[in-house]
Amino acid sequence: MWLNALVLAGVIILLASPGGSASAKETASAYSKIDADRCSHTRGTEVEDYGSWRCKGYAGLGVRLSANDQRMHVSFGPRAATEIAASETFGQFNDFYKGVIEWRLEKQQNGKARPFAAIARWNVQTAADVLGPHAKASGRVLVVTRLGPRAAFVMWVMSTRSPMQTPTISRARSRRKAHAHSNAARTSLSFSAR
């Protein structure tokens, strides 16, 4: 339990402003269910390319799922196919064909809520899965994607069952530095993973 608290504290620090103090903006959460079977699908063109799906998220925000070689990518917004998240995934087999996305929202000056992060629980293959008799992905990892005007940003946060390897967070950290001045980076994040 204390490890989860440390990880969550790390998430808040990573999404805080460069000076380390979190924004005092009002935040809230909204939830949307994603089911690839109910989304618009474009077939892939290569072997092991399963194509992409366009789904609707919070307030109609586009959610793009794509999959190849038993691995998925989840990205957001009108240019989801070109966002950073569209090329980020785990090294081991994984999926997010169905699930719930928690949208972290910040209240704007005009009173409207704007999503600044999306949180999803991915299914990720563990070492026990690889050694077992059936191919499955029993590991669960929360993935936080920062949403913003420049690019989505993926941060792998915590697992409820250990995946085989730690995802490449070093790339995420270098992107955080590159986008440190976006509004999303100055907003603290706390969430109630479902």
| 4 — pLDDT class (breaks 50, 70, 90) | very low
Domain span at 97: 2-186
Q: Is residue 182 part of a domain?
A: yes
144-185 confidence digits (pLDDT tens):
999 976 556 677 766 555 555 444 433 443 344 333 333 333
Average pLDDT, the chain: 75
| Domain membership flag for residue 36 | yes
pLDDT at 13: 38
Task: Give the global pTM.
Answer: 0.71
Q: Is residue 191 part of a domain?
A: no
What's the pLDDT score for residue 60?
A: 93
Percentage of the chain exceeding pLDDT 90: 47
d(CA 160, CA 170) in angstroms, rounded, equals 21
**Residue of 118 and 128 predicted with greater confidence:** 118
Q: What is the mean pLDDT of residues 42-60?
A: 95
Say if residue 61's pLDDT is above 50. yes
Which pLDDT tens digit goes with each residue over 108-127?
989 899 999 999 999 999 88
Residue 79 in domain:
yes
Segment 74-90, tens digit of pLDDT: 999 999 999 888 988 99
Ramachandran angles phi, psi of 7, nearest 5°:
-65, -45
Give the chain's domain count. Answer: 1
Of 53, 66, 84, nearest in space to 154 by CA: 84
Residue 122 lies in a domain: yes
Would residue 129 count as lying in a domain? yes
Let me know if residue 141 belongs to a domain: yes
Residue 82 lies in a domain: yes
